[in-house]
Chain A
Amino acid sequence: MLNSIFNYFYQFLDSFSFLILAVAGLAIIFGMMGIINLAHGEFIMLGAYMFTILAKASVPLFLAVILGALFVGMFGYVVDKLVVSRLYGRPLDSVVATWGISLLLRQGILILMGPSLPGLTTPLGTFAVGESTYSVYRILLGVVAVLVLVGLYFLFMHTKFGLHSRATMQDNSVAQSLGINARRMYSTTFMLGSALAGLCGALYAPTMTITPTMGQAFQNDSFVTVIVGGADPLVGMALSGGVLGVIQSALSLLFGTFFGKMGLLVVAIIVIRVLPKGFSGLVEKHMVKGKR
């Protein structure tokens, strides 16, 4: 009994951390700028490549993760300067443009680096509960996911940057007239979002095969999480990550991974019909009601 409860908890933590880490970068870019970065999966892929190359060059893993995130963050800055910053206020055009970037990256990496990199083995070994063994690294990923959530909460709620960014999110023009440089807020956010994508890629690199198309595995789940979560990056992300994590892990345990993935989509379609603004819309409505 205890074993199966732990087994379920482990599965849930796995789904939850995957969803949170995959969605974090996408969600803050969307919440702040209203832009969906369709190259998000490819940014994750870049992080994984950077990490693997560094790790192969025997850079300590911890450092390789940080460097991978920084590299993708810088890459995001360049992409923002060259492309995205020209498309502020044209969300559909930015969808098309970032899709172009995604195709370029995926095929470019395929041409440059070949169809796959030999991966690393999952570090940190395993531990046993009852008869089943579990990976320590996966537990660590769960901890990192929670840390990312806490870190973002601190960043948005307790720093000057967070205050400015929330102001820009709420009313762009008023924020600008009060002296906030909205363009710089946007490009910083895009850089931060890209760095989080890189972090996700670097963290998951040791657990999967490194291929140019690996980003798609993250992309679908992260889109669903953003759709279900709604516009507020923090509340939406945490809630939808939790709910979808429960659903996905339950379906995966009962019927297999494929049904877990299908379940996510079905839930997303139902949620947008019932709660068009996602979970963050629901929370906002009740909080506002409560205050009045």
Chain B
Amino acid sequence: MKTKFKDAITTENICAVLVLVFFIAYPIISSAYQTLNMANFLITVILALSLALIWGYTGIFSYAQAAFYGIGGYTYAILCKNFTDPALTPLFLIGGVVMGFLVALFLGYFMFYGGVNDVFVALVTMCFTLVLETFLAQTAGSEWHIGAAQLGGFNGINAVTPLTIGTFPVKNLALYILALLLVIGIYLAMRIMEKRNLGYCLLSIRENRTRSEMFGYNTAFVQMMIFAVSGAIAGLSGVLYTSWGGYIVPSAVGMTQATMPVVLVAAGGRKNPTAVVIFTLFYLSLSQKLAASGSQYSLVLLGLILLLVVLFVPKGIIHSLFEIIDRKVVLPLKNGKAQAGGAAE
């Protein structure tokens, strides 16, 4: 048991605990506005984790996370406009998640059972996202409605009812706590899965698809299912965003939004959910500061980060930092403590 605990002391885990403490303390040490802002960051963290699950673990590179995010958000908003009873909103949340799941399942079926992989998945998902945005942006006319919900073209759907449990609206602090719990849940599920058979199966598909298939795994099925789960998580993020801001617009599906998770996951470290969470926080607070000084440079910054990361730190900035600190600080410390054991090895 003791050795197991010692194995768990890595830079990654220490940072994870620190980040958790930070999140718990955050509402106490900062204003209500800042907390609400941080809730939005947490929602983006969920989106980023949805990509880390398929790209980092399974090796499926998708541009469609923003599309699933938008589908979740639009489903929630459309349901809210059609059934005005706020007590039903938790069902709408589930509706948005299920919709994200189903659309991803559909797209995944065509791709993975068609033997489409790697670069082509990137292309198909990108085309899908582009078409969805084009479609939503041209729905300005009054003929574009689903039930009582006008799709509204560029203006999107506004004044959407926030998520309500019973009669209690999940806003401000409550929304923060809900988003935090979901982030913790998804994060822990990913970390635990890493050490279970399911996780091994995903990793083996990432490393060598043909060999995994030879070992008897139905890789197309596994890829399709994990893609659908990731679509559901992205949909969840979209629902929370719509509930957070009270609106959803086509640009939520647009190119900037579609690039965001890719940048966050690539630059943080795609095989490492902790790194993704940390980098997302870091990047969002930086870009918010930059936006105050003129938003036209934020896209340039995104592009530059992507380029430099791919060229010089392909494992991701935070992930590489973890590895360096592990090697230089944590490992010598551990070995120093257990000199006898270390010498025997």
A residues lining the B interface (CB < 8 Å): 34-36, 38, 83, 86-87, 90-97, 99-104, 106-108, 110-111, 216, 219-220, 223-224, 226-227, 258, 261-262, 265, 268-270, 272-274, 276
Contact = CB atoms under 8 A, between A and B. Distances in A.
Interface string B95-130: 000000000000100110111101110111011101
Nearest to B312: A86
Given A100-B304, A101-B307, 20 more contacts: A91-B119, A92-B118, A95-B61, A96-B306, A97-B311, A99-B262, A100-B310, A103-B302, A103-B303, A104-B304, A107-B296, A107-B297, A107-B299, A107-B300, A111-B296, A223-B127, A258-B134, A261-B134, A265-B127, A276-B115
A281 B339 CA distance: 61
Given A93-B310, A93-B314, A97-B311, A216 B130 contact: yes
B131 interface: yes
B242 to A, nearest CB: 25
Nearest to B267: A96
Interface of B: 61, 107, 110-111, 113-116, 118-120, 122-124, 126-128, 130-131, 134-135, 138, 255, 259, 262, 266, 296-297, 299-300, 302-307, 310-311, 314
B128 A36 contact: no
12 contacts: A95-B61, A95-B119, A99-B306, A100-B303, A100-B307, A104-B300, A108-B300, A258-B134, A261-B131, A261-B134, A262-B131, A268-B124
Nearest to B311: A86
Contacts of B135: 258, 262
B110 A269 contact: yes
A272 B127 contact: no
A192 B103 CA distance: 39
A100 B306 contact: yes
Which of A110, A219, A269 has most B Cβ within 10 Å? Answer: A269
A276 B266 CA distance: 28
Contacts of B123: 36, 223, 226-227
The 8 closest A-B pairs by CB, nearest first: A103-B303, A100-B306, A100-B307, A276-B115, A104-B303, A273-B114, A107-B299, A97-B310
Nearest to A108: B300
A261 B135 CA distance: 10
B266 A102 contact: no
Contacts of B296: 107, 110-111
A83 B127 contact: no
Main secondary structure of the interface of A (DSSP, over half): helix
B310 A227 contact: no
Contact of A83 (B120, B255, B307): B307
Nearest to A213: B255
Contacts of B297: 107, 111
A36 B125 CA distance: 14
Nearest to A86: B311
A94 B61 CA distance: 12
A272 B310 CA distance: 29
Contacts of A94: 310
A212 to B, nearest CB: 11
B61 A92 contact: yes
Contacts of A35: 119
B61 A272 contact: no
Nearest to B308: A100
A35 B307 CA distance: 16
A110 B295 CA distance: 12
A107 to B, nearest CB: 4
A94 B302 CA distance: 16
A99 B259 contact: yes
Contacts of B262: 96, 99
Contacts of B255: 216
Contact of B122 (A87, A95, A265, A272): A95
B124 A269 contact: yes
A96 B110 contact: no
A192 to B, nearest CB: 20
A35 B122 CA distance: 12
The listed residue with most B CB atoms (<10 A of its CB), out of A94, A96, A224, is A96
B291 to A, nearest CB: 14
Contacts of B302: 100, 103
Contacts of B314: 90, 93
A265 B64 CA distance: 14
A275 B307 CA distance: 34
Contacts of B115: 276
A113 B107 CA distance: 39
Given A223-B123, A272-B110, A276-B115, A87 B299 contact: no
A223 B126 contact: yes
Contact of B124 (A91, A104, A108, A272): A272
Contacts of A99: 259, 262, 303, 306
A120 to B, nearest CB: 26
A93 B304 CA distance: 14
A93 B138 CA distance: 33
